[in-house]
Chain A
Amino acid sequence: MVEQSIPTRRLMIGGHQFLIGYQQQQEWAWLITTAFFLGGVGGGLFVISFFSDFKLGALIGILAVAVGKTTAHLLYLGKPLRFLRAVVRWQTSWISRGIIGMAAFGLLGAVYVAPYIHISFVPNGVAHAFGIAALPFAFLMMFYDGFVLKASKGIRFWDSYLMPVLLLCYATLGGITVTLALEVLANEATTKRLEWAEIALLVVNLALIGIVVFSARVRGAASELAARLLRQERLGRVFLLAIAVGFGCTLVLAAVSVATHNAATMTVAALTDLFGHFFVLFAILRVGIHAPIRPLPLRGVRSEAAV
């Protein structure tokens, strides 16, 4: 087999090289990573904060989705002014469902936190009911991007139900770490159960990442190549750094903060977790690889991914 590298470009016309080969997806990168990241953490933060009755966390969760995620999506779109059109195909498209969820979450959540920011147009009881109504949409924010990836049949590494599970667990972890950090920074008592849940979820997420990477072979050669890229070259280094910081550092810091309740330690633990979360997502998006239209054995394929 003639040696090929990743990505292969297309065709020999106008400087292009059209070789049969594995192609790294080039479309979804920083902005989509940011949108997925903010959606997950924002949704998780709202859910965890709601059950902890911590309104500041809920407010920041709503802002992360309504401002951060929405802005990232709008910056990415080729035609941002047509954004609202994206709600019409909710029957089949997870993007449509997500956008409807984002709008509902933003509106219902805003009413929930309104009394906290001294905008009292509804009684507290009604605001709380809106918070309950916002919960399913916040929950949707935590995992729907995983189904967006799952629906990408062209990229076998993403085409797995592990993706929504992984994103849900990451969103929950992000919600917990940020809630703990914000509680400490706001001089509120942290919930002991959340501190232990953080440690447990770190272990669960690490195991999930391992399952995603090591089960990739089951989903075909392109998926196997994607998993190989996560262990090699520049993307591999990004991924390993994200794992080391996101899990290694966070686990140590979380254990220390459980023992000491040190505010600085808890804040740094949240930051290292978020760093790991973001770059794991980035690496997973960037190793999206399209299989060649005709079978091409992986033997002889040189793994070089463009970051």
Chain B
Amino acid sequence: MTRWGMVLDLARCIGCNACTVACKIENGTPPDHYWARVYTEETGTFPDVQTTYVPALCNHCADAPCVTVCPTGASHQRDDGIVLVDQDKCIGCRACMTACPYAARFFLRKGVLETGYHGERTAFEDAKWELFTEGTVTKCTFCAHRVDEGLEPACVITCPTDARIFGDLDDPESAPSTLIRERNGQQPLADLGTNPSVYYVEGR
């Protein structure tokens, strides 16, 4: 059985946000919807301060709380572990947004799709936004449409430093499994028991 997952290498991420932009282009996400994003973590006290860039996306948890709380079955999990939202079933109750510990879900408010980014919709927005429905919740799909064709997610192929490593977590020899094993990969907020399919590895 395949379980798609990703390792995010914090030692490699330079905070360029190329993944954020690649995701926007690939999925044509509406304004304020950042499925792939890079957080800035600032630690220390002046003058001894440090910035770490923390890429983030939906963790496609094995025990996804968003799937459990969804009253309609719109939030569902495929056999390969990818968690998706069926825009035709979502009623916009946003229970999944409060249940998700990773702020990985976005509500598509009414009117957002009318004007687009620049006051009127572009041809690109016309084409991409057919997939979105106002009043529903959206989230990262792990680029399921690409994965189904044997490709890697857009954020992964775009990353100039190879900070995002995608592969099958059930395959012990896959690139992410090896990285997790060799560099002690950690799941975010692991104590919540959601068993994310995204791992972080720190500096070497």
Contact = CB atoms under 8 A, between A and B. Distances in A.
Contact of A85 (B34, B91, B133): B91
B98 A25 contact: yes
B101 A290 contact: yes
A1 B45 contact: yes
Q: Considering residues B39, B41, B68, B134, which has the most beta carbons from chain A within 10 angstroms of its beta carbon?
A: B39
A96 interface: yes
A151 B40 contact: no
A293 B107 contact: no
Contacts of B54: 20, 293-294
A122 interface: no
B70 interface: yes
B133 A95 contact: no
Interface string A69-87: 0000000111110110111
Given A2-B42, A85-B91, A78 B108 contact: yes
A185 interface: no
Contact of B39 (A18, A82, A83, A92): A18
A92 B101 contact: no
Q: Considering residues A85, A148, A153, which has the most beta carbons from chain B within 10 angstroms of its beta carbon?
A: A153
Interface string B187-199: 0110111100000
Interface in B137-166: 137
A302 interface: no
Contact of B192 (A2, A19, A148, A153): A153
Given A19-B40, A154-B102, A28 B94 contact: yes
Contacts of A94: 69
Interface in B17-61: 17, 20, 31-32, 34, 37-45, 49, 54, 56
Contact of B110 (A78, A154, A220): A78
B34 A93 contact: no
Interface residues on A, range: 35 or more
B131 interface: no
A153 B103 CA distance: 12
Nearest to A82: B91
Interface residues on B, range: 35 or more
Contacts of B192: 153
Given A2-B49, A288-B98, A294-B41, A93 B68 contact: yes
B110 to A, nearest CB: 7
A79 B69 contact: no
A99 B37 contact: no
A148 B95 contact: yes
Contacts of B93: 76-78, 86, 95
Given A82-B72, A291-B189, A13 B91 contact: no
A199 interface: no
Given A151-B99, A288-B98, A96 B34 contact: no
A220 to B, nearest CB: 8
Interface in B79-135: 89-95, 97-103, 107-110, 133-135
B73 interface: yes
A20 B39 contact: yes
B42 to A, nearest CB: 4
A20 B40 contact: yes
The list of the 5 closest CB pairs from A to B, nearest first, reads A78-B92, A78-B135, A154-B101, A95-B71, A86-B71
Interface of A: 1-2, 10-14, 16, 18-20, 23, 25, 27-28, 76-80, 82-83, 85-89, 92-96, 99, 148, 151-155, 158, 220, 288, 290-291, 293-294
Given A85-B72, A151-B69, A293-B56, 17 more contacts: A10-B103, A11-B20, A11-B39, A77-B92, A78-B136, A79-B92, A79-B133, A82-B89, A85-B91, A89-B73, A95-B93, A96-B71, A151-B68, A154-B98, A154-B100, A155-B98, A288-B98
11 contacts: A2-B43, A2-B44, A10-B37, A13-B17, A13-B34, A77-B93, A85-B71, A89-B70, A93-B69, A291-B189, A293-B39
